Amino acid sequence: MDPVERIAELRSVIDRHRRLYHTLAEPEIADAEYDALIRELERLEVAHPELTEPSSPTQLVGGDIIETFAPVTHRVPMTSLDNAMDVDELRAWGERVMKGLDEGAAIRYCCELKIDGLAVSLRYENGQFVQAATRGDGRVGEDVTANVATIAVVPKALPATVMSGRKKIPIPEVLEVRGEVYLPIEAFEKMRAAKEAENLERVAAGRRPEPVPVNPRNAGAGSLRQKDASVTAGRGLAFWTYQVGEVVGGPELTSHRDTLDFLAACGFPVNPDIRVVDSLAEVERFCTEWQENRHSLPYEIDGAVVKVDDLGQRGVLGYTARAPRWAIAVKFPPEERTTILRDIQVSIGRTGRATPFAVLEPVFVGGSTVSMATLHNEDQVRLKDVRPGDTVVVRKAGDVIPEVVGPVLSLRPDDAESWNFPQVCPCELKSTLVRLEGESDTRCVEPSCPHQRDQRIIYFASRGAMDIEGLGERTVMQLSDAGLATDPGDVYSLTVDQLLTLEGFGRVSAEKLLESIEGSKTRPLPRILTALGIKHLGPSAAEALAARFGTLDAIMSAADDTLATVDGVGDVIARSISSWFAQQANLDFVAKLRDAGVDFGRVETSNAPQTLEGKAVVVTGTLDGFDRESAERAIKERGGKSPGSVSAKTFAVVIGREPGASKVTKAESLGVPMLDEEGFRHLLDTGELPD
């Protein structure tokens, strides 16, 4: 396409999406897609500078204001930030900063979390809160004073004086504080749950469900822009401050860190995970750490913000037309994208559970290309009202299975029809799918269903169960189609000649798989218990049962009330175990495993002294002498527990390199002792904290 035409097209598309996102909080595309459009336009404008215009979206900040709220002119413009999408772009920014300062100048960087919320400005005159405004287009925002006043953590009045270092100083005559209004994840989940409950009533009454909030950012922006401030008050919004705007009569501050400390002394909430570092390498480590630990926080972040700490150096570096040269936003890989929902189908699990899933136009999200995503159950499909042909928001957070969050209703095709849950199983038996009264799951109740059979074999061979390397989903499907495996026990009678009939198998790979199958016969009893696939019985309860009874036969013959006394088991799991072993088909399966030579009585015992009996020890970060599994095993071998989170019951937290910041913060707030690796070894040996 001709550059002139493409630039005009991009500007039109971006202007529309900019208003939908910044002004109306009703985006039709994900942030990553918007960023890609902006960056394409930037590249074209760099290549064709004669086509650059002051009104181009690349030169603008935020969005337009809406007439619902009175306009507020910012005395000091609220600029945006340039973005770094990867480490190379971060390093390029660092080089520009160094070139903009005197050669050899020492540079300190202030690293902050990029809160996924709505930028606002709070104005205080003589210590009194007088006005709050959104960023708007950077020059003019919206007056949201009444709504911001309902946010509990926003001070309504400031103390007359505060301590700055060792000096007591008066509050500035005018103090403009800038920060991010956001919706905590817990508050967001409550909003979603409330809307879903309301939609259940609407569906039951024959009415269409209303849109469910898609993410905390959009829900928070909508909450702040309520006409009725009492509605905002009930939403649970929060606020972090990160900058000052106009200041009249303020203290002489020389660094950004000093500024944040001053704001904290005034009573403003300042994020505890801000870090000042001396090199760009440390900046990169900060970004990597938080990209890996972003889900440990009680709020959403979509990146990190890096700022030159020295205010004098900031003055030298200055601004471009839309952003400061002394700061940059490092964007993390997107976890939400929009794509087309091609179809909705149903998969059958090992217990017969029928789970609807979305067949998607492939989209790169959360670090991988996604073409399918879960829709959970029949109720969720109805409540979200997603339909084949919809443009949908897809979310993949970390290693979590991708899910369809909801539809973009403004882009729904006119002919999109509601999807109805099928009444028969997709397998060749076409058995009836059943949903019992009071349950959310629909199930295939035909025991011979081939889909259930295949999933049971896959689960049996998985890493958390019998850990049979090479027996993955593709191989199981081949074995099933060839009639070589009707239940997990059949894998123990496989031969090389049989495997050679399968596509992709040579003699070496066949022998290697049989070797792995043979090795699984001596897996510890907890693994075998897990592999059986008994409903509600997970690895922790399996370990406790194995430690208590020692053999599978002893567990099979134990009464419900005896099983229920085991720590972590209880009545529900006990009944599920007894019910499973009461079925003849399951007893036949256990007998097949016994005949194959599977050891039902191998319990790994430890001769280590029980120095940590009853104590919970959390490990975070990288240790030199232990990986995560061996550290947790060392704790458990000594009678301790190794939970994944810090609580008031935690005895100690072991801190390695690059620890999870939220765990460190929680330990500090609760006064839980923190140990280095040497202290950890002392704890393992003695059960006591080092002096």
Q: At 11, which CATH number?
A: 1.10.287.610
Q: Confidence class of residue 535 from pLDDT cuts 50, 70 and 90?
A: confident
Please tell me the predicted confidence (pLDDT) of residue 523.
92
Whether residue 644 is predicted with pLDDT greater than 80 in this model: the reply is no
Q: Which two tokens stand for residue 346?
A: 């149903």
Please tell me the predicted confidence (pLDDT) of residue 10.
83
Please tell me the predicted confidence (pLDDT) of residue 38.
81
Q: Are residues 515 and 455 in the same domain?
A: yes
Other Cβ atoms closer than 10 A to 413: 12
Q: Are residues 312 and 181 in the same domain?
A: yes
Please tell me the predicted confidence (pLDDT) of residue 549.
92
Q: Are residues 292 and 222 in the same domain?
A: yes
Q: Is residue 224 part of a domain?
A: yes
In the DSSP assignment, the letter for residue 20 is I
Contacts of 278 (CB under 8 A, 6+ apart): 106, 107, 108, 109
Q: Which residues pair with 372 in a beta bridge?
A: 359
**Is residue 179 within 8 Å of 239, Cβ to Cβ?**
yes
Q: What's the domain count of the chain?
A: 6
Q: Is residue 69 part of a domain?
A: no
Please tell me the predicted confidence (pLDDT) of residue 555.
95
Q: Which two tokens stand for residue 523?
A: 């897996």
Q: At 485, which CATH number?
A: 1.10.150.20
Q: Is residue 137 part of a domain?
A: yes
Whether residue 625 is predicted with pLDDT greater than 70 in this model: the reply is yes
Q: Where is 368: in which H helix or E strand?
A: strand 368-374
Whether residue 369 is predicted with pLDDT greater than 90 in this model: the reply is no
**Is residue 80 within 8 Å of 119, Cβ to Cβ?**
no
Q: Is residue 205 part of a domain?
A: no
Task: Round to whole Å and give the CA distance between 38 and 333.
Answer: 16
Please tell me the predicted confidence (pLDDT) of residue 24.
63
Lowest mean pLDDT among 50-59, 71-80, 537-546, 665-674: 50-59
Q: State percent of the chain over pLDDT 90.
A: 45
- For range 625-635, the mean pLDDT: 81
Q: Which residues pair with 175 in a beta bridge?
A: 124, 247
Q: Confidence class of residue 604 from pLDDT cuts 50, 70 and 90?
A: low
Question: In 213-367, at which residue ranges do the beta strands (DSSP E only) sit?
Answer: 238-248, 275-277, 301-308, 327-331, 336-348, 353-365
Whether residue 447 is predicted with pLDDT greater than 80 in this model: the reply is no
Task: Round to whole Å and give the CA distance between 296 and 663.
Answer: 8
Q: Are residues 315 and 247 in the same domain?
A: yes
Other Cβ atoms closer than 10 A to 287: 21
Task: Round to whole Å and give the CA distance between 691 and 683.
Answer: 11
Which of 465, 498, 522 terminates a domain? The answer is 522
Q: Which residues pair with 131 in a beta bridge?
A: 123
Task: Round to whole Å and give the CA distance between 310 and 330.
Answer: 20
Q: Are residues 97 and 168 in the same domain?
A: yes
Q: Are residues 286 and 387 in the same domain?
A: no
Radius of gyration of the chain (CA): 30
* Interstrand relation of 327-331 and 83-84 (parallel, antiparallel or unpaired): parallel
- Which ranges constitute the DSSP H helices of 124-215? 145-148, 185-204
Per-residue pLDDT tens over the stretch 49-69: 887 777 777 776 655 545 567
Contacts of 517 (CB under 8 A, 6+ apart): 468, 471, 491, 492, 494
Q: How many CA atoms lie within 13 A of 631 on its CB side?
A: 26
Q: Are residues 114 and 181 in the same domain?
A: yes
3-state secondary structure of 540: helix
Q: Which domain holds residue 664?
A: 616-686
In the DSSP assignment, the letter for residue 25 is S
Q: State percent of the chain over pLDDT 70.
A: 95
Please tell me the predicted confidence (pLDDT) of residue 276.
94
Please tell me the predicted confidence (pLDDT) of residue 234.
87
Q: Confidence class of residue 505 from pLDDT cuts 50, 70 and 90?
A: very high
Look at the alpha carbons of 642, 647, 653, 656 in this order and tell me if their dihedral is positive or negative.
positive
Q: Are residues 551 and 580 in the same domain?
A: yes
Whether residue 378 is predicted with pLDDT greater than 90 in this model: the reply is no
Please tell me the predicted confidence (pLDDT) of residue 543.
84
Q: Are residues 127 and 253 in the same domain?
A: yes
- Which ranges constitute the DSSP H helices of 319-447? 378-384
Whether residue 502 is predicted with pLDDT greater than 60 in this model: the reply is yes
Contacts of 96 (CB under 8 A, 6+ apart): 325
In the DSSP assignment, the letter for residue 521 is G
- For range 170-190, the mean pLDDT: 92
Please tell me the predicted confidence (pLDDT) of residue 541.
87
Task: Round to whole Å and give the CA distance between 85 and 32.
Answer: 10
Whether residue 480 is predicted with pLDDT greater than 80 in this model: the reply is yes
Q: Which of 31-45, 54-68, 483-497 has the highest mean pLDDT?
A: 483-497
Please tell me the predicted confidence (pLDDT) of residue 381.
86
Whether residue 319 is predicted with pLDDT greater than 80 in this model: the reply is yes
Whether residue 547 is predicted with pLDDT greater than 90 in this model: the reply is no
Q: At 118, which CATH number?
A: 3.30.470.30
Task: Choose among 383, 334, 326: nearest CA to 356.
Answer: 383
Contacts of 37 (CB under 8 A, 6+ apart): 10, 13, 14, 17
Point out the catalytic residue in the list 99, 114, 190, 384.
114
Q: Are residues 114 and 182 in the same domain?
A: yes
- For range 496-523, the mean pLDDT: 94
What is the per-residue DSSP string for 640-665? -B--SS--TTEEEEEE-BS--HHHHH
**Predicted TM-score (pTM) above 0.75:** no
Whether residue 399 is predicted with pLDDT greater than 60 in this model: the reply is no
Q: Are residues 123 and 240 in the same domain?
A: yes
**Is residue 427 within 8 Å of 450, Cβ to Cβ?**
yes
Q: Are residues 287 and 396 in the same domain?
A: no
Q: At 625, which CATH number?
A: 3.40.50.10190
Q: Is residue 348 part of a domain?
A: yes
- For range 500-528, the mean pLDDT: 94
Q: Confidence class of residue 165 from pLDDT cuts 50, 70 and 90?
A: low
Q: Which two tokens stand for residue 207?
A: 């009415």
Q: Is residue 483 part of a domain?
A: yes
Length of the chain: 691
Which of 331, 362, 377 terminates a domain? The answer is 331
Q: Confidence class of residue 138 from pLDDT cuts 50, 70 and 90?
A: confident
Q: Confidence class of residue 267 from pLDDT cuts 50, 70 and 90?
A: very high
The average confidence (pLDDT) of the chain is 87
Which of 534, 564, 595 terminates a domain? The answer is 595
Per-residue pLDDT tens over the stretch 401-416: 788 888 988 889 999 9
Whether residue 108 is predicted with pLDDT greater than 60 in this model: the reply is yes
Q: Show the CA angle centred on residue 670, arms to residues 667 and 673, nearest 5°.
A: 55
Please tell me the predicted confidence (pLDDT) of residue 25.
60
- Which ranges constitute the DSSP H helices of 237-389? 256-266, 280-293, 311-317, 378-384
Q: Which two tokens stand for residue 116?
A: 């996924």
Please tell me the predicted confidence (pLDDT) of residue 22.
61
- For range 295-306, the mean pLDDT: 90
Q: Confidence class of residue 358 from pLDDT cuts 50, 70 and 90?
A: very high
Task: Choose among 338, 377, 378: nearest CA to 361.
Answer: 338
Q: Is residue 202 part of a domain?
A: no
- For range 469-474, the mean pLDDT: 91
Q: Is residue 383 part of a domain?
A: yes
- For range 436-454, the mean pLDDT: 85
Task: Round to whole Å and give the CA distance between 529 and 180.
Answer: 49
Task: Choose among 7, 64, 55: nearest CA to 322.
Answer: 55
| Annotation marks residue 195 as catalytic | no
Per-residue pLDDT tens over the stretch 191-227: 888 888 888 888 778 787 777 777 888 888 888 888 8
